[in-house]
């Protein structure tokens, strides 16, 4: 994964983001959502765009295997 520096102080974020706001919670279930989040994280993604979708925020917040979420 490639990363870029963002803001001050400089944060290292993945060049690719994982957008989930349209599909998650409406079109796919929580188990599938969690698997996709895990796959993205394992590929190096650390920039997750949930567009303030409460269900996605809850899934990310409760990730036991990735406390940095």
Task: Please list the pLDDT of the chain residue by residue as tens digits (69 residues).
Answer: 999 998 888 889 999 998 876 667 678 887 888 888 889 989 999 888 877 666 667 777 666 555 454
Q: How does DSSP classify residue 60? A: H
Helix (H, G, I), strand (E, B) or coil at 55: helix
Would you list the domain boundaries of the chain?
A: 23-69
Question: For position 53, what pLDDT does the model report?
Answer: 62
In this structure, are residues 14 and 47 in contact, taking their beta carbons and an 8 Å threshold? yes
**Helix 30-42 with 54-61: angle, nearest 10 deg:** 60
């Amino acid at each position: 994964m490639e990363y870029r520096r963002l803001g001050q102080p400089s944060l290292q974020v993945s060049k690719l983001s994982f957008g989930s706001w349209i599909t998650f919670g409406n079109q796919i279930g929580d188990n599938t959502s969690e698997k996709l989040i895990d796959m993205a994280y394992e590929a190096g993604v650390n920039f997750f765009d949930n567009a303030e979708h409460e269900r996605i925020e809850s899934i990310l917040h409760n990730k036991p295997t990735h406390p940095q979420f």
